[in-house]
Amino acid sequence: MSLTSPGTPPPPQPPALRVAVLGAGTVGTEVLRLIAQQRGDLAHRIGADLEVVGIAVRDLTRDRGEHAGAELLTEDASELVRTADLVIEVMGGIEPARSLLLDAMAHGASVVTANKALLAQDGASLYEAADIHGVDLYFEAAVAGAIPLVRPVRESLAGDRIQRVLGIVNGTTNYVLDAMTRTGASFDAALASAQELGFAEADPTADVQGHDAAAKASILASLAFHSRVRLSDVHCEGITEVSPLDIAAAARMGRTIKLLSIVERVQDDLGERISARVYPALLPDEHPLASVSEAYNAVFIEADAAGSLMFYGQGAGGAPTASAILGDVVSAARQRVRGGVGPRESRYAELEQVPLDDLRNAFYVSLTVQDRPGVLAEIAGTLSGNGISISTIHQELLEKPEGEGEQALAHIGISTHRALESAMTASLDLFSSTSTVLSIDSVLRIEGV
């Protein structure tokens, strides 16, 4: 056929999809780079071209690299989102991100976001808007960066019954704990070095306090258990209190301290409930999560039929996060071209949360005590009086203080078998009120045993 043959129109090309990008920081810049560099491939994979129609930024004067031309930059995000087919949100924070995404969906745009805090705090209204307006809401990048996790949990395992997800989903805290483990450094020193190397932000609060991991736990729990789990439902402890002594004690026991996000079904007399929590815990060195080093993420999933699955990769960083976002962009764009909608919120199960007190965990407790006869018996008695049985105990005499009248002190590290959280709380209260125990130095859970 001649290229100029008349009467045979070329096959109709769907119009380009108009893409708005909110935010042009580390991740936004990488998203723009990928869209530009892979434009041809993306068009083939989607069935239509992607055209970036605007990039909303707060500071128009800052250079955003070659793929964010000045003509695309705008401070008027509100106007931008109303003209787009797809909105990619990588600005972070609750507002104005929330209002912009709601407005974008009201105007018919599908949304791809990496905003874990927003999803954890107010995912319900985003889901609702997507549903009402018949658009898509994708957020693979919100949970573990480049690691495919949202799609496996809500699609691949949609016909299975997930029992438990156990994950290292915050790279900063894993980097800090790993550095403390390798070098014996204090938390403050390890954090400072992580900040210097770019593994921790200038304000590391959301990471080291566990809030970021808790937001991800709430998202994972919602998906895994088809129930609405909010950030406020997640019990959250950070890593700021983890000491070199704890790390050393864990090592002595063949264990490693990791910040874990745990979501699980709990079956007891009260029926089936769920738990979502974040805390530093001791893992056996031979547990696959124990060897996850530096800023890597890894997630274990246990499901009835699938058994144990593990996913491993880079949980943060510009390019890995952009990879996850682009995967979602392709999915949302394909729906635009071919019709259909992506997964909706699934919360039919409406499982209730187990209060932390009702959970049964194994613990490691370290105490500074008076070194005199009967102390061990007293402590063991307190624990057993609360129904807690001891697994191992380690006692070390502390160096005798200088002064004549000073008392001799000892350090005791106790590992327990599984016991009710409330029983441990009661025991700790008793320790606090006895003169035998001078200080409760740490209380950590033991997982993976």
Based on the shown chain and the rule CB under 8 A, indicate whether residue 226 belongs to the binding site for a copy of itself: yes
Residue 256 is a binding residue for a copy of itself (CB under 8 A): no
Measured in whole angstroms, how far is the alpha carbon of residue 408 from the centre of its chain? 44
The answer to whether 349 touches 272, Cβ cutoff 8 Å, is no
Among the residues of 54-115, which ranges form H helices? 77-81, 97-106
Nearer to a copy of itself, 79 or 304 (CB): 304
182 counts as binding a copy of itself under rule CB under 8 A: no
Distance from C-alpha of 308 to C-alpha of 282, rounded to nearest angstrom: 20
Residue 339 CB, nearest distance to a copy of itself (Å)?
5
User: Cα dist. 327→56, 92, 297 in Å?
Assistant: 21, 19, 19
What beta strand segments (E) does 78-187 contain?
Answer: 86-89, 110-113, 137-138, 162-168
Choices 38-46, 74-82, 114-122, 202-210 (CB under 8 A): range interacting with a copy of itself: 38-46
Smallest separation, CB 247 to a copy of itself (Å): 23
Question: Which single residue is written with the structure tokens 């029992």?
Answer: 163
Q: Which of 155, 201, 268, 357 binds a copy of itself (CB under 8 A)?
A: 155
Of 116, 216, 258, 400, the active-site residue reads: 216
Closer of 136 and 421 to a copy of itself (Cβ): 136
Q: How far apart are CA 131 and CA 128, in angstroms?
A: 5
Kindly tell me which of 255 and 336 has the beta carbon lying closer to a copy of itself.
336
Burial (CB count <10 Å: 0-12, 13-18, 19+), residue 203: exposed
Residue written as token pair 């992607």: 50
- Contact assessment for residue 169 and residue 216, using Cβ atoms and an 8 Å cutoff: yes
- Which CB sits closer to a copy of itself, 242 or 298? 298
Q: Which of 103, 128, 131, 160 binds a copy of itself (CB under 8 A)?
A: 160
Query: Can residue 343 be called a binding residue for a copy of itself (CB under 8 A)?
Result: yes
Q: Single out the segment in contact with a copy of itself by CB under 8 A; choices: 7-15, 41-49, 89-97, 416-424.
A: 41-49
Pairing relationship of beta strands 50-56 and 17-22 according to DSSP bridges: parallel
Reduced to 3 states (helix: H, G, I; strand: E, B; else coil), residue 239 is coil
**What is the closest distance, in whole angstroms, from the C-beta atom of residue 110 to a copy of itself in the complex?**
13
Could you identify the residue written with the tokens 């605007």? Answer: 54
Q: Which is nearer to a copy of itself, 324 or 426 (CB)?
A: 324
User: Does residue number 220 form part of the binding site for a copy of itself (CB under 8 A)?
Assistant: no
Sign (positive or negative) of CA dihedral 241, 246, 247, 248? positive
12 binds a copy of itself (CB under 8 A): no
* Beta carbon nearer to a copy of itself, 31 or 234: 31
Annotate each residue in 300-339 with x if it binds a copy of itself (CB under 8 A) or - if it does not, as one string. ---xxxxxxxxxxxx--x-xx-xxxxxxxxxx--xx--xx
Question: To the nearest whole angstrom, how small is the minimum distance from the Cβ of residue 322 to a copy of itself?
Answer: 6
Q: Is 111 in the site for a copy of itself (CB under 8 A)?
A: no
- Is 161 a binding residue for a copy of itself by CB under 8 A? The answer is yes
Which residue, 291, 312, 316, 314, is CA-closest to 300? Answer: 312
Short-list 327, 258, 255, CA closest to 295: 258
According to DSSP, the residues that pair with 284 across neighbouring strands are 255
Instruction: Considering only residues 123 through 142, tell me which ones interact with a copy of itself, judged by CB under 8 A.
Output: 140
**Paired residues of 413 in beta bridges:** 366, 394
Please say which residue, 50 or 102, places its beta carbon nearer to a copy of itself.
Answer: 50
Member of 348, 373, 399, 403 binding a copy of itself (CB under 8 A)? 348
Closest to a copy of itself by CB, 41 or 188: 41
DSSP letters spanning 296-329: EEEEEEEETTTEEEEEEEE-SSHHHHHHHHHHHH
Instruction: Show contacts with a copy of itself in window 273-302 (CB under 8 A).
Output: 288
Q: Which of 296, 301, 299 is nearest to 320 (CA)?
A: 296
258 part of the interface to a copy of itself, by CB under 8 A: no
Q: What's the CA gap between 127 and 137, in Å, rounded?
A: 7
* 304 contacts 313 by C-beta, under 8 angstroms: no
**Residue 258 appears among annotated catalytic residues:** no
Number of residues forming the site for a copy of itself (CB under 8 A): 57
Q: Which is nearer to a copy of itself, 149 or 247 (CB)?
A: 149
Q: Which of 145, 71, 103 is nearest to 299 (CA)?
A: 145
How far apart CA 19 and CA 52 sit, in angstroms, is: 5
Tell the smallest beta-carbon distance from residue 273 to a copy of itself (Å): 16
Closest CB 342 distance from a copy of itself, rounded Å: 9
Binding site for a copy of itself (CB under 8 A): 30, 34, 38, 41-42, 44-45, 140, 146-148, 151-152, 155-161, 226, 288, 303-314, 317, 319-320, 322-331, 334-335, 338-341, 343, 346, 348-349
The residues carrying an active-site annotation are 216
